[in-house]
A and B are shown apart, each in its own frame.
Chain A
Amino acid sequence: MATTRLSGSSLPVLQRLFSRNGILPIFQRTFCKVPPEDPTQAEEAKTIEQEKLGDSNSTADTPVKESGVKEQIEAQDPKVLSDNVSPDSSDTSKAEAVQETKKPVPSQEKKLTKKEETQKKLRDLLASLATVDPLSVESTVKLTRPKPRPKKEAKVKKEEDLPPPESYIEPELVSATKEVAESLGGDTAATESELLSTLRLHSSDAPPHTQAAASLSELFVGMKIERSPNQGETAPIQHKHISPEADPRRQPDANTRRRKLSRLSPERPIPKTIQRVDLFGAKPLGIFTSKCSKSEDVSSILPVWEALHEEELKRSMSHPPDNAFVEMMTWTNQGKLWTFPIDNEFGLESEKKIGFHEHVFLERHLQGWCPPLGPIRHFMELVCTGLSKNPYITVERKRAHIEWYRNYFAEKEGLLKEIGAIQSSN
C-alpha cells in the first residue's frame, strides 16, 4: 500500500480526499471534462486552485499535475469556491497573484490582457510545478508500522547513561510509606520497613543490572525450586543433542533468567535431566549375529497367521526391483524367465560333449544278463531301438530304463522259466 503507483487522474482525487482542508463529499466530485461556463468562473476557479495549492504547499508537499482538469472540477463545486477561499498562504508570490486576481471583473478591453495575465500565471504555475517537490503519499496516507518493541540492551544503556539516583530516600516518600503502612493495618512497623527497604534498593548507588540481579535472586529465595528425583544418579550420559537451553555450560543471560522464571511457571516445563539409554533392557534383535535360532512355538494356535507375518517381514526387508529390467534379471536368475536368445537345449549343455554312439548303440548294456534268444531278447532289442531313436532324454536315463527291465525280469525269473521264456539249460 505504501508504494502504489498512482495515475495522473487519480492524484488530484486523492489530493482532495486527503487534504487537510477537509474530505469532500463524493457526489460533488466530477471526472468529466466540462468547460467552464464563464471565463470569470474559470478565473475564479484558477485563483481558488492557486490558493488551494498554496495551502497544500504550506501544509504538505503536494504533487502538481496538469491543472486543467482540476480547474474544471473546481468550477463545478460551489462548496469549494466558498470554503477554500482562505487568506493564509505562505507563498508570497502566489499570494500577490491571488490578490491581483481578486479585483473586480474588468471591462472587455482588459479581458485580453487579463487573459494574457492568466496565461502568464499559468506558465508561472507550471514553472513552479517543476520546482515543487512531489507529494509523498506515504506522509498523508496512514500506514501500519511495526510497534517499537522495547530493547533490553538499549534500556540498560539508558539506565547507565542516566545520572545515579540519590542514596537516601526523600522525606516525602518516607511519610508516604508511613501513611500506607497505617492504612494497610496489621504490623505497621514491619510493612513500613519492607517498603523502605524496597525503596532503598531502587534508589541505591549500585549499577542497575546488578540491582536487578539482586532483586531477582531475592525473589528466588522465597520460591520453591523444582527438583527431579533422578538428579543424583546421572549415569554415563549420551549427548545426543543438547539444546542451547539445556546446556549447563551456558553463561547466564537475560534470556536464561527469563527462562528460569518460566521454568517455575507450569506453562513451559523444561526437563532438567537427559534421558538415560538402557542398552540391555530389551531383547536383542539379533541382526548382526549369525545364530538364526528360530524358536518354534508349539503353543501357537495360529500357524497361518505367523507364517504370513514372517513372509511380510521378509518382504519388508527385501527391496522391490527398481525397474522392469531388474525384475526380469531376478526372474532369470531364479529360473522363471528363459534366457534370450532362446535355446531349446537350455540345461543340456553337458549333452553336447556326449557322442551319438552312446545314444544309439545300447545293445552292449544287454550283455551279461539278457538271454541271446527268446521273447525277452526280442523285447529288449525293441526297447533299445526305441531308446536310440529318442534324442530328448539323456544317456543316463536310457541306461536306467534298461536297468529297470533287468531288475523286473530278474524278479520274474521263476515264472519265466516255468513258461519256458528263459531256457534254464543255458
Chain B
Amino acid sequence: MALQGVLSRIKTPVFGCLVQVPRCQQLHTTLVLDKLKYPNWKMVKEVKHRKAVKEYAFERININAVRKAKHIIPPEVKEIADKEIDELPRMSSISMLHKRCMITSRPRGLVKRWRLSRIVWRHEADYNKLSGVQRAMW
C-alpha cells in the first residue's frame, strides 16, 4: 500500500514550470546531488541566487535604465517600470547577493579578486598557490 503511494506520479513545480515527477523525487533528494559539491547549504542557496540573477539580468538592466533616466522619460512610464521591476523575483536582484568564500563559504573577510576568505587566502599564499602574491616585507 505504501509502495503504491510512492509509485504515483504527481505534477510538481520545478523551476517555474510544471513537470511530471515521481513522488520520490519530490523529496528533492535527486536535486541534492548537484549541490553536494558545495561546502555549505548557505552556499547552495547563494548559487541558486546567482543563477536567478543571471536569468533576469538583461530584463532588469533595461528596466532600471528606464527608471534611472530622470528628466528624459515621463514619470508615468517610470512608475510602470517600478512596478514591473517589483514583480520580478527578489532572488534576481544583484544587491541581494552576498558573496562567500568559494572554499569555506565564509560570508565575511573576503579577498575580492580571488573570491576567498582571508584565512584561506593566507593559507594558499603561504603555499605559493596564488600567482604574484608574496609576503610583505619592507
Contacts and interface: CB of A to CB of B under 8 A. Distances in A.
Contacts of A401: 58, 62
Nearest to A378: B72
Instruction: Enumerate the 9 nearest inter-chain pairs by beta-carbon distance, A residue then B residue, closest first.
Output: A304-B29, A419-B74, A379-B72, A303-B30, A378-B72, A404-B62, A303-B29, A298-B22, A307-B33
Nearest to B71: A375
Contacts of B69: 379, 382
Interface of A: 298-301, 303-304, 307-308, 375-376, 378-379, 382-383, 400-401, 404-405, 408, 412, 415-416, 419, 421
A408 B62 contact: yes
Contacts of B25: 303
Contacts of B33: 304, 307-308
A299 B25 CA distance: 11
Chain A: interface secondary structure? Answer: helix
B62 A301 contact: no
Contact of B30 (A307, A404, A408, A415): A307
Chain B: interface secondary structure? Answer: helix
A245 to B, nearest CB: 55
B103 interface: no
Contacts of A298: 7, 9, 22, 24
B32 interface: yes
A383 B69 CA distance: 10
Contacts of A303: 24-25, 29-30
B14 interface: no
Interface in B84-117: none
Interface of B: 3, 6-7, 9, 22, 24-25, 29-30, 32-33, 58-59, 62, 65-66, 69, 72-74, 76-77, 80
Contacts, number: 54
Contacts of A421: 74, 77
A408 B33 CA distance: 40
Given A303-B29, A404-B62, A375 B72 contact: yes
B77 A412 contact: yes
A140 to B, nearest CB: 74
Given A303-B25, A405-B62, A375 B74 contact: yes
Contacts of B58: 400-401, 404
12 contacts: A299-B3, A299-B6, A301-B6, A375-B73, A376-B73, A379-B72, A379-B73, A415-B76, A415-B77, A416-B77, A419-B76, A419-B77
Contacts of A416: 74, 77
Nearest to A421: B74
B80 A412 contact: yes
B54 to A, nearest CB: 14
B32 A304 contact: yes
A421 B32 CA distance: 52
